[in-house]
Structure 1
Amino acid sequence: MSSVLLFCAGCSSETLHEIDRSDLVGSWKASGGDSIRFLADREVRTNGFSDSDQESCGDGGVGYWSFYVAMDDRGESIRTSPEATEGDFVSVSLREGAEGECQVDLSVIDEGRSLCVADLDNVCASGERFTRQ
């Protein structure tokens, strides 16, 4: 499954930072208690995205992750790639549950030390940050 997104990277004061797969794999936690665990086999486990506007993401779950890659030279059109080994923008898709499928995009910021929930207009759509544990 591939997602395509037109992203406005210049619409926020945050700066995206590219990391490789080994820097992403592991546990990340937000100050509010939400957590994400990225596994090397592209599986992801979360206990929720309370700061996401996706209601179906609130309880978290199990799914998969992938980096986005640019489809054009200017990087204005991007898509997920299960083969990408590095990136500054991550897609998290949780399997369908009682509330439906959950899809959340995360920006890599703070020189790779933090992740934040992104949307079409903002590198970080909220103040919540996930940091590596």
Structure 2
Amino acid sequence: MFKSPLKTGRRAAAALIPLLLVAACSTTEETAKVPAERIVGNWQGPDGERISFSADREFTATGLDSKKLAPVDCPTGKSGGGWGFFVSDDNGSHMSKTAKSGSWVGLGLAREYWDWNCSLQFAVVDDGRTLCASNDPDVPCGLGVRFTREK
């Protein structure tokens, strides 16, 4: 039986539309490289999370144990430690407390126990206006928590 090319084309289009929609919705955020001065200051998350980044590469935070951040197993209450940009060099990819700019920020929390690991990193997105919490460098906003600068 002969099939009309018009009907075959409609069927192909109908099959492709869902795939195109999935592809369009699964795009990743574009990261932005910013100087350290753009990170320094107070940032807040959607559920009361707060991080204060200082110029000396130290930070204090509260709420890093919120529901959406639970997978990173961060401490309850007030916490603190050092922050830096992720860089790639002869030592591989690592957090640098001396890098002057970057598009990914890492937190190194002060820990009471050596076996406890809280790994939290932020992708700098929206031209530096937003820090997206992530636990996967391939997915900039993987934890679904977006921090914005406090006003």
Superposition TM-score, scaled by structure 2 size: 0.70
Cα 1:54–1:126 shift into 2, 3 Å = closer
The whole-number CA distance in structure 2 between the counterparts of 1:95 and 1:78 is: 21
- CA deviations 1:59-92 (Å, max 9, x no partner) are 34010101011237xxxx5211121010000110
Superposition TM-score, scaled by structure 1 size: 0.79
Query: Is 1:106 matched with 2:122?
Result: yes
1:20-59 correspondence to structure 2 within 5 Å: 20-49=35-64, 50=66, 51-52=68-69, 53-59=71-77
Q: CA RMSD in A?
A: 2.2
More helix by share: 2
The whole-number CA distance in structure 2 between the counterparts of 1:103 and 1:67 is: 14
Percent of counterpart pairs with the same letter? 31
Counting matched residue pairs gives 119
- Preserved CA contact (<8 Å) 1:46 1:61: yes
- Preserved CA contact (<8 Å) 1:12 1:122: no
Give the match for residue 5 of structure 2.
Answer: none
More strand by share: 1
SS at 1:127 equivalent: coil
Counterpart selection for 2:143 from 117, 126, 129: 126
Structure 2 unmatched runs, 5+: 1-25
- Higher-Rg structure is 2
Larger RCO: 1 or 2 (CA < 8 Å, sep 6+): 1
